Structure 1
Amino acid sequence: MRTHRLRLAGVVAAVLVAVTAPTAQAGHRDPTLADLAQRHGRYFGSATDNPELVDEPYKAVLGSEFDQITPGNGMKWYATEPQQGVFDFTKGDEIVDFARAHHQKVRGHTLVWHSQLPGWLTGKEWTADELRAVLKNHIQTEVRHYRGKVFAWDVVNEAFNEDGTWRDTVFYRTLGPGYIADALRWARQADPKVKLYLNDYNIETVGAKSDAYYALAKELKAQGVPLDGIGLQAHLALQYGYPTSLEENLRRFAKLGLDTALTEVDIRMILPATEEKLAQQAQWYADLTDACLAVRRCVGITVWDYTDKYSWIPAFFEGQGAALPWDEQLLPKPAYFAIRDALR
């Protein structure tokens, strides 16, 4: 892996120049992260969410810097099927419409997940036959609705525990591990062209959890189950160390004939953010980018929203934050320039 020696003074100077420089002359603009990624045959994307789409300065960056969008919440089960058999795609559609207006592609997120489920689903005991019918109907209705509008789906999200055992969810308890193969097959029937992914966090390194996905992917491929890729969320934290076997891990999934993507990237820190921590964060963003560029089948990188202004981290990890390449004022941080440098 090419290592960036980020000279902090240089990065800080670059930040100041970017913040204070006059608008580029008419007809000339610096290439965006998306432009730079496209030169490598990759995309560079951001998550977004519906409440943000009233923020015009935010939308200006979202619509110009990225070529891919993931809806943070608008396509999840609670939003799309709030009552059994009653579907509402308003929120997902709003984000798809934004992406289309800005020539961006959309990752669908997510069809099957144990969290953010509607009360009607979690509030009763299902027989296996009942839940299979509910699951199939949800997957196929949503995938058909977005057929031709999304290029990939996170079909099943977070199926394993940290030790590589199956996560105890309503789907696993009621249907057994076969629910994953069924979900993938149903999604493929509903949209033969969309790329189908399994997605999870803490699978960046080679270890028990990523081994479980490797074994599952191998088994699914052997059975002819449609699976196109593995999404590595890459929610990292400076205090836990960099996932040094990331590139090796991306490579072993590629050898199974699978695409990979870094799907929900953020790199949090214990606050306050210091120059030293921001420099380390920048290095990690560069290293993640390098790892993806080094493996041909790593198709792209998505940050989990691009600005600290709308990061989920502070609400979930007390005393932590500053996880994204733009700060709360929508100004680029050292991480942004490190990503640009890596993409060059």
Structure 2
Amino acid sequence: MKGIKQQKWLGFGKSHIYTVKALVAFTAMTMPVMSIAADSSAVVPSGFDAYYASASYTAIANNGDVENGLSGWSSIGGNIYRTTQDSYSGMASVHIYNRNATWNGVTFKPAPLVNGKQYNVSVWVKLAPGVQSANIILTGKRTDDADTSTNNEYVRIASASANTYGWTELKGSYTQSGTPFQYFIIESDNSQVSYFVDAMKVEDIGGGSGDPGNNGKKFVGNITTSGQVRGDFSQYWDQITPENEGKWGSVERTRDVYNWSGIDAAYNYAKQHNMPFKQHTFVWGSQYPAWIDNLSPSEQAGEIEEWIRDFCNRYPDVAMIDVVNEATPGHAPAKYARSAFGNDWIIKSFQLAHKYCPNATLILNDYNVLSWNTDEFIRMARPAVQAGVVDAIGLQSHGLEDFSVSQLQEKLNKIAALGLPIYISEYDIARSNDQEQLNIMKQQFPLFYNSDAVAGITLWGYVVGKTWVDGSGLIYENGAQRPAMQWLMNYLGR
């Protein structure tokens, strides 16, 4: 469907230059080059909505100069490789060849962009020997919306005639609204031309009034209720996670027999309502299929890869994934993954997720990080973070009721020092007393919501009597809201 929609857009049948809202970005971590195919194409580093401002184009367009392998660069059709044959600046550029359609092009994934600011975007191109001149186009691409009859996800930023004897700059302004930003595309309406790309820059120039849908802020989402999406979900929340339906043991209880129905419902709901969907979870030492413990290490490795591959093939537009869950020693590290991949099992799991879900934000998720096990989590996480395979940190936030704002801020700062955006992934307030729950919500929630380090917040259940932790429900079955929910909805303007 992506290819079809893109081909239709490149037919130039109607204008696709839109005045839209704006962008905010957070600092992206460099990621290692991974081979998708023998042509040396690189995996696109992933990302999604984040409220993490940066005024530096070097932070927004990390590795735009192609000096650190192909991190951030990939392609839609054709083949790409990093070459030192020619460059606009520095030592290298990206070369795309074997294009056979107008929509084949080089893609660049910057740090995730959200509504609220405006950006200048620039990239330099040069034709490879062969065709003497051709029109090259710089396009901004958002994730596909639910309407397959339109192509509003594509916004042309600039175009110019490029040649073989010098570098040409494509430069324009980009702002955003609607579905989340996905990547920039450098393409051509000549389906046969091959070209070099270098010096990608994305510069924050301010401005923008924010998206009325979320006031330019980060998402505040929730989970399914008893395996179902309630009819009132989108009234309160703008991001969805399946509570149990996405866990491997729920999907593949019997080897090679999948039950996708629970994920399908939540994923399709997210698509229909233009909200990000997060998969929970790929590799975890709990709620996994028991049969994998009886396999040899090589079979275990094959089954883990098959599970990740088949999920990504079915849900290509997944926004975020808890790739590895609760890996801190003493929590619930996946012993079967260590058996399959050895001591680098966390890194390997993320590499597989990058390979098959290249456009998702890949999260290392764990509990007690904001309370008791901060240092232990950091020691566990650092090797994978330094390897460049983790896009974000997920902080389960159960059991924080007795922690002060200053204590939580101190812990949050420690995690933010890892250099990755943070998702508050499982927040709840387990207080049956309405006033106690309200007081804690009023103290803690603004800390997370207003922190530049936090990219988004997911609460873990909202219906009284149907949440993981007793006392954490926010509305009753009939829709009546507890005081904490009333305050939260007022705070968010919902």
Q: What's the TM-score once normalised by structure 1's chain length? A: 0.74
TM-superposition CA deviations, 1:113-163 (whole Å, max 9, x none): 1112223224x2x33222222212212221232111x2100001111245x
Partner SS state of residue 277, structure 2 = strand
Task: Please name the residue that 1:228 is paired with.
Answer: 391
Tell me if structure 2 keeps the 8 A contact 1:204–1:234: yes
Aligned positions of 1:83-232 closer than 5 A: 83-122=254-293, 124=294, 126-148=295-317, 150-161=318-329, 167=333, 169-172=335-338, 175-205=341-371, 207=372, 209-224=373-388, 226-232=389-395
Tell me if structure 2 keeps the 8 A contact 1:155–1:183: yes
Aligned positions of 1:12-27 closer than 5 A: none
CA distance in 1, matches of 2:337, 2:306: 14
Task: Please name the residue that 1:48 is paired with.
Answer: 224
Task: Please name the residue that 1:22 is paired with.
Answer: none
**Offset at residue 252 of structure 1 (A):** 3.2
Among residues 414, 428, 448, which one is paired with 1:252 in the alignment? 414
Tell me if structure 1 keeps the 8 A contact 2:329–2:376: no
Partner SS state of residue 38, structure 1 = coil
Larger Rg: 2
Tell me if structure 1 keeps the 8 A contact 2:425–2:458: yes
1:39–1:251 Cα change, 3 Å: farther
**Offset at residue 343 of structure 1 (A):** 4.3
Partner SS state of residue 382, structure 2 = helix
**Root-mean-square deviation (Å):** 2.6
**Offset at residue 185 of structure 1 (A):** 0.4
Instruction: Name the aligned partner's letter for residue 410 of structure 2.
Output: E
CA distance in 1, matches of 2:314, 2:273: 21
Highest relative contact order (Cα 8 Å, sep 6+), 1 or 2?
1
Give the structure with the higher percent helix.
Answer: 1
Does 2:453 correspond to 1:297?
yes
CA distance in 1, matches of 2:406, 2:353: 34
1:50–1:289 Cα change, 3 Å: same
Partner SS state of residue 300, structure 2 = helix
Task: Please name the residue that 2:488 is paired with.
Answer: 339
TM-superposition CA deviations, 1:82-129 (whole Å, max 9, x none): 32233332220111112222222211110111112223224x2x3322
Does 2:307 correspond to 1:307?
no
Give the structure with the higher percent strand.
Answer: 2
Tell me if structure 2 keeps the 8 A contact 1:40–1:293: no
Instruction: Name the aligned partner's letter for residue 268 of structure 2.
Output: D
Task: Please name the residue that 1:330 is paired with.
Answer: 479
Q: Which runs of 5+ in 2 are unaligned?
A: 1-210
**Offset at residue 175 of structure 1 (A):** 4.2
**Offset at residue 304 of structure 1 (A):** 1.2
Instruction: Name the aligned partner's letter for residue 197 of structure 1.
Output: I
Instruction: Name the aligned partner's letter for residue 224 of structure 2.
Output: T
**Offset at residue 305 of structure 1 (A):** 1.8
CA distance in 1, matches of 2:251, 2:225: 14
Percentage of matched positions with identical amino acids: 26
